[in-house]
Structure 1
């Protein structure tokens, strides 16, 4: 299960990284097409690409894998929000501020002088004809302008762009229009793919490999205490005590002395034995019916 989840996560993160690169490329191509049209569709590509890069690194890590995947999820989440905003902005701009009908009909002109060009300085004035009047329009070098989109009678700016500065031809405006819609579509794709990728990485960051589950954490060594083992262990270091003969080992002959036993009679000597030394304690004589005292070492 871990290997399958890892391959799935790599596939989604790699796909998101590829989409991020395409979003960045299309966005930069659109924003550098003209000078007076600013496109922000490449920002999600940077954020999503960085989050995907962190995700690929985190998937291959063994240690600190969870922290790296959490950072990747955070960046991908920010990229999803940016992709949503840029998709709306680019789509609305392409739909409301660029009109292709005069361009495709060939009613727009391209002015290119290339001599003495200074930024933000108009080079010439052209005459635009409206429905019942005409007016002068100032254009700069390398500008595609459409008199059909410019209203001479109105003092308010036109809602649609009637000139595009910094282009090489009017065909670049058509390319810009297509790039804007492509950027909006790619941002929507990055939005959906980013949500799915973040969810997959969120589930994968808590998965533990089977090998680590089999090994598990090393248990601390257990110290078993057994009094019997301790006694046996120390028994070899102590000398055994000398055996003391019990009272029943030697018979005690009683000598009659009238009607009672003589207490002053010396005890008989024990028989000689060649097997060992004589006992350390001599047995004492007791009266009939009297119990001997308990043994004390």
Structure 2
């Protein structure tokens, strides 16, 4: 059986601690920067999907704002020397809120894209686009178009700059239509196809931000408790300890005052008086104990 390896000497141990700190710092910085880049993509794709149409609201860009701010605080906290722990704690809190927002937005955007947008009539060219030719004043210029169903036909009132699909419009019962049959404020039906793709892209990016945010928060949480080499090797000396010695009746400062202090002269203090009964008179007389010696 081989003997255990000898312990690492002090200087090598300090070098090993410095290497571990630098490695953890590099890993934390890499994850924080990756989360910041992913947040920028989430924000950009979410804003592009939100501004594509007027009647479809997308909230996929909110996690990009929260995660981006949290990762930015994390990058600052990693490079700080003082107050590094407080800054990283704040970054972890914001990243945690961003993870929750990314989870919710990924579900909402994914369900909306899957249930409320039907891409088949759009891809086959069965949807029509109406434009009055006067800018985007769709609230002023409206028209009625005729949509045909299997058994009847009906009139559909559409606004200017609107892409509408009669295949998705139910003439018998318009309130129970699960899919969007018109998209207002677009420049063509091709914008609706782009909206469908942007919604799924935003969903995938939010899922990536969800897992990347969880890992980044864990890495920053492990890094915030590490102490750099400068504070470990050249830290301030502890304050002097105050010791109380009952035998000497003095306070001794360890490392500053000598440990052997002269004892007080007990003979200089008056000893207690001792009462003694006079054998002849029977009265009490007091005298000092020192006179007996």
Q: TM-score range by the shorter chain?
A: 0.7 to 0.9
Q: For the structure 1 residues 15 and 117, does the alpha-carbon distance in structure 2 shift closer, same or farther, using more than 3 Å as the test?
A: closer
Partner of 1:270: none
Distance in 2, Cα, partners of 1:140 & 1:173: 16
Matched, 1:3 2:22: yes
Does the 8 Å CA contact 1:122/1:138 hold for their aligned counterparts?
A: no
Matched, 1:225 2:258: yes
Q: Please report the RMSD computed on the Cα atoms of aligned residues, expressed in angstroms.
A: 1.7
Distance in 2, Cα, partners of 1:140 & 1:69: 51
Partner of 1:110: 129
Partner of 1:101: 120
TM-score (ref. length: structure 2): 0.75
Matched, 1:89 2:122: no
Aligned length: 229
Distance in 2, Cα, partners of 1:204 & 1:152: 62
Does the 8 Å CA contact 1:66/1:206 hold for their aligned counterparts?
A: yes
191, 210, 224: which one pairs with 1:172?
Answer: 191
Deviation at 1:218, TM superposition (A): 1.8
Q: For the structure 1 residues 42 and 226, does the alpha-carbon distance in structure 2 shift closer, same or farther, using more than 3 Å as the test?
A: closer
Partner of 2:231: 212
Q: Which sections of structure 1, spanning at least 5 residues, go unmatched?
A: 230-297
Question: After the TM superposition, which residues 228-243 of structure 1 pair with which residues of structure 2 at under 5 Å, given as runs?
Answer: none
Structure 1 or 2, whichever has the larger Rg, is 1
Distance in 2, Cα, partners of 1:207 & 1:151: 64
Higher strand share: 2
Matched, 1:143 2:162: yes
Partner of 2:94: 75
Partner of 2:212: 193
Deviation at 1:220, TM superposition (A): 3.9
Q: For the structure 1 residues 227 and 170, does the alpha-carbon distance in structure 2 shift closer, same or farther, using more than 3 Å as the test?
A: closer
TM-score (ref. length: structure 1): 0.74
Deviation at 1:40, TM superposition (A): 0.1
